[in-house]
Amino acid sequence: MKKNKYVVYWLLTGCMLIFIMVLVGGITRLTHSGLSISDYKLIHGTIPPMNEQEWQEAFDLYKQYPEYQKLNYHFGIEEFKDIYFWEWLHRVIGRFIGIVFIIPFLYFLATKKLDKPTIKKSLILLFMGGFQGFLGWYMVKSGLVDQPDVSHYRLAAHLTTAFITFAYSMWVALDLIYPNKKEIHKKTRNLIRAGLVVLLLQIIWGAFVAGLDAGFIHNHWPLMNEGKLIHQTVYIEQQPLIKNFYEGKSGVQFIHRYLAYIVVGFIVFIWYKTRKLQTTRLQEKGLLSLLALVFVQFLLGVLTLIYAVPLWLGIVHQIGAFFLLAAMTFTLHRFTK
């Protein structure tokens, strides 16, 4: 750790910035601000409009696209400034992450602070960061054609890639913090891997829920409609039937609800199977953090649903997903040879 401490600080700073970016991205989505900037200028776009003429030009450009024409036609320039701010901040943080990654990477490379495995992992991170930026542009583009909203598939790809980039950055940092591996339990490791896959599926369907605004319906728990059986409330919106579970609001919410039970069950099962194993202190901490965080996240999900996704609760629920993924990544790392 001492040998590589500045590299570790660099990687963990990247993790924190990705976390902040996803947090701001969640606010951008929940305030419907994501289509307020309809062009992409890598350098010039860093500076927001600085006077009334520039604001009017930006607003006039916004008026040319479906979100204004179909939804926000009542907006004045002050309302436009509010939504513009969040999308601008989201993009600026993305640019800042690129600078924070590339400049120290080149410095560490020039001063030979990185060994070959870390160089390879850093190049993968560089690719993932660039791909994430591309997905952000690709997502916004989908809302500028004929519908006043982005594709929920592209939103899911953009969000999930951010989560995976965060997890991989954390993994690379953990490799440097704990270079000496302990004895592992292969069955437990494989079980945690399966739990990670299920958690990522839950994150994807959570993005589907956000992209389709599916959290604003069926605001009851544990039943999807109060006083009715669950199977009666998954309304058939599209044919074939299977499409309802990834394109229909009711079906997408149904999957997200029941994947939550599976995630909880997986983590409880992992904790139960490791009770009698001789685990290290860090392995035990990872397992206990998983157990605590999954129940907190489940409760946050229920409250977010019941109260029909208030902004602050939607953001806290997203933060909970981040912490849960971090705990899963840490725990898996401690059980991986």
| Percent of residues, the chain, with pLDDT higher than 70 | 94
Task: Read off the tokens for 90.
Answer: 């989201």
Positions in the chain short of pLDDT 50: 227-232
DSSP state, residue 178:
-
What's the pLDDT at 227? Answer: 46
DSSP helix/strand/coil, 20: helix
What's the pLDDT at 325? Answer: 97
What's the pLDDT at 182? Answer: 62
The packing angle between helices 186-212 and 249-273, to 10°, is 160
Question: In whole angstroms, how far apart are CA 2 and each of 7, 9, 115, 170, 176?
Answer: 10, 11, 15, 17, 10
246 class by beta-carbon count within 10 Å (0-12 exposed, 13-18 middle, 19+ buried): middle
Q: Could you tell me the pTM of the whole model?
A: 0.92
**DSSP string covering 300-317, please?**
HHHHHHHTT--HHHHHHH
DSSP helix/strand/coil, 50: coil
What's the pLDDT at 275? Answer: 87
List the domain boundaries for the chain: 1-180, 182-337
- Determine the Cα angle at 167 with ends 289 and 97, to 5°: 125
| 167 within 8 A of 326, measured Cβ to Cβ | yes
The per-residue pLDDT for range 173-198, each reduced to its tens digit, is: 999 998 876 667 788 899 999 999 99
Question: In whole angstroms, how far apart are CA 303 and each of 208, 263, 309?
Answer: 18, 17, 8
